[in-house]
Amino acid sequence: DAKTTQPPSMDCAEGRAANLPCNHSTISGNEYVYWYRQIHSQGPQYIIHGLKNNETNEMASLIITEDRKSSTLILPHATLRDTAVYYCIVRVSSGGSNYKLTFGKGTLLTVNP
């Protein structure tokens, strides 16, 4: 799986959009971009994933650049409960039961009141 690079930490004001960047310059054509987050002392939670098109769900939006070498996770209206470590992961395949994940260091997003 391709390596990802994320800033170690970011701050965001409550109610504002949080934009979390991720670089994955060595991504292959068949690799997907996944985002998970981990709130302190809990297991990770799936947020969103995409291949090359932008994606949106009830939690967030994922913007992938045209060359697919980077992406941005957008939380449109951050709340205090969004404070967590956000992991950007690149992996082959969008499904299957053999689903091991390689976690990097992630970005600690702190949402401030």
Partner 1 sequence: GAVVSQHPSRVICKSGTSVKIECRSLDFQATTMFWYRQFPKKSLMLMATSNEGSKATYEQGVEKDKFLINHASLTLSTLTVTSAHPEDSSFYICSASLPGAPEAFFGQGTRLTVV
Among 5, 25, 105, 112, binds partner 1 (CB under 8 A): 105
Is 52 near partner 1 (CB under 8 A)? no
CB of 45 to partner 1, least distance (A): 7
Instruction: Report whether 78 contacts 16 (CB < 8 A).
Output: yes
Alpha-carbon gap, residue 68 to 62, rounded angstroms: 12
Is 30 near partner 1 (CB under 8 A)? no
Is 96 near partner 1 (CB under 8 A)? yes
- If the CB atoms of residues 14 and 110 are measured against partner 1, the closer one turns out to be 110
**Among 5, 7, 26, 105, CA closest to 69:** 26
* DSSP structure class, residue 30: T
Give residues in contact with partner 1 (CB under 8 A). Answer: 32, 34, 38, 41-46, 49, 87, 94-106
